[in-house]
């Protein structure tokens, strides 16, 4: 009996302690949401609300000032049938060659070469110089390249110096070569990003694998294909995804260098959305084009995410 009496207060005190702890569980459950709340508010105000407004505007003919007129899917029909708008989308996909294929291939090659360099000082200098374009604003880079691509610019001076002066031209003013010239600017900017990201990925690959490949007599190319590429699946996925988005959504480089000209030879959806919305006061059509571009980007990027997904 004495044992039972002494145990009862302990049981009651344990139950009271358990009850005192119960109200804290909801606080712990909601604590994470309290930390997320500021970012969620900003995302809702600056992303979700404009996106919702763009979807709404895309079904109206509106100049941004007067009363809007509901037109249904007419804006989308025009986006998908107007030759000028479709050519802008085609130009954006063409730029993937310069914004994605060349930087990723060049960045991979340079990262592999920098790994072989034993002189740390030279490697650091090379990484700094190659990454420098990435931290320069795209607008500033475009202005610099406008001077270089001018009739008396650096590009034509180099051609003249090597005996190819007959190829000199105003590159950004040429209907045939203006789009590739703009693409070269994108290659220059994205190359450093790809190189640094892939170089960091190479650093995560076990050095013993490279040593084993060297002992087996594998050369630079064989090591690159058999060791480096398989170990960079995630990094390659990030590089390709980011650079494709920069190509399809390009604006600052095109706007500051050519503004879509000459004619429509370098026009891309980003510049078209700006011109339609702010110059021609066709807010509904601009919104429809922006949404079509968003869908196209997702249609390209989402399969790539699945392709480069790695199993843990």
| pLDDT score of 210 | 86
Across the chain, mean pLDDT equals: 87
Helix (H) or strand (E) holding 63: none
pLDDT exceeds cutoff 90 at 189? yes
* Residue 209 Cα distances to 123, 153, 173, angstroms: 22, 47, 50
Q: What is the pLDDT of residues 68-123, one digit of tens each?
A: 999 999 999 999 999 999 999 999 999 999 999 999 999 999 988 888 876 667 77
pLDDT exceeds cutoff 60 at 5? no
| pLDDT score of 27 | 58
Dihedral sign, Cα of residue 183, residue 189, residue 191, residue 193? negative
Task: Report, as an integer, the average pLDDT of 140-149.
Answer: 93
Q: What is the pLDDT of residues 221-252, one digit of tens each?
A: 898 888 999 889 899 999 999 999 999 999 99
* Residue 109 Cα distances to 116, 231, 234, 308, angstroms: 11, 14, 17, 20
| pLDDT score of 1 | 46
Q: Cis peptide before 262, with omega less than 30 degrees from 0? A: yes
Going by C-alpha positions, the residue among 250, 253, 292, 232 that lies closest to residue 82 is 292
pLDDT exceeds cutoff 80 at 38? yes
Radius of gyration of the chain (CA): 28
In angstroms, the CA 239 to CA 101 distance is 10
In angstroms, the CA 58 to CA 282 distance is 10
pLDDT band of residue 138 (cuts 50, 70, 90) is: confident
* Residue 27 Cα distances to 14, 35, 39, 256, 283, angstroms: 22, 12, 20, 52, 46
Range with top average pLDDT, 41-45, 126-130, 136-140: 41-45
Q: Is the pTM of this model over 0.75?
A: yes
In angstroms, the CA 79 to CA 86 distance is 7
Instruction: Give me the phi and psi of 243, to 5 degrees please.
Output: -75, -30
Q: Which two tokens stand for residue 10?
A: 């302990």
pLDDT exceeds cutoff 70 at 310? no
């Amino acid at each position: 009996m004495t044992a039972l009496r002494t145990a009862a207060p302990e049981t009651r005190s344990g139950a009271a302690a358990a009850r005192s702890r119960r109200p804290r569980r909801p606080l712990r459950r909601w604590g994470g949401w309290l930390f997320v709340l500021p970012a969620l508010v900003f995302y809702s105000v600056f992303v979700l609300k404009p996106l919702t407004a763009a979807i709404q505007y895309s079904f109206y003919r509106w100049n941004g000032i007067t009363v809007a007129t509901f037109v249904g899917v007419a804006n989308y029909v025009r986006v998908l049938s107007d030759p000028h708008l479709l050519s802008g989308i085609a130009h954006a996909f063409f730029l993937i060659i310069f914004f994605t294929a060349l930087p990723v291939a060049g960045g991979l090659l340079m990262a592999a070469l920098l790994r072989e360099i034993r002189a740390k000082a030279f490697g650091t200098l090379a990484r700094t110089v190659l990454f420098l374009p990435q931290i320069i604003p795209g607008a500033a880079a475009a202005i610099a390249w406008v001077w270089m691509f001018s009739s008396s610019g650096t590009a034509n001076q180099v051609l003249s110096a090597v005996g190819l002066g007959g190829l000199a031209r105003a590159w950004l003013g040429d209907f045939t070569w203006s789009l590739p010239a703009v693409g070269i600017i994108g290659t220059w900017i994205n190359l450093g990003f790809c190189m640094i990201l892939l170089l960091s990925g190479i650093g995560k690959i076990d050095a013993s694998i490279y040593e084993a490949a060297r002992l087996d007599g594998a050369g630079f190319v064989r090591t690159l294909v058999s060791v480096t590429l398989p170990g960079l699946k995630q990094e390659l996925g990030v590089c390709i995804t980011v650079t494709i988005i920069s190509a399809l959504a390009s604006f600052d480089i095109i706007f500051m260098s050519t503004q879509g000209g000459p004619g429509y030879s370098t026009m891309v959806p980003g510049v078209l959305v700006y011109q339609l919305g702010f110059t021609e006061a066709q807010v509904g059509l601009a919104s429809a084009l922006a949404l079509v571009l968003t869908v196209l980007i997702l249609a390209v990027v989402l399969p790539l995410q699945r392709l480069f997904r790695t199993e843990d």
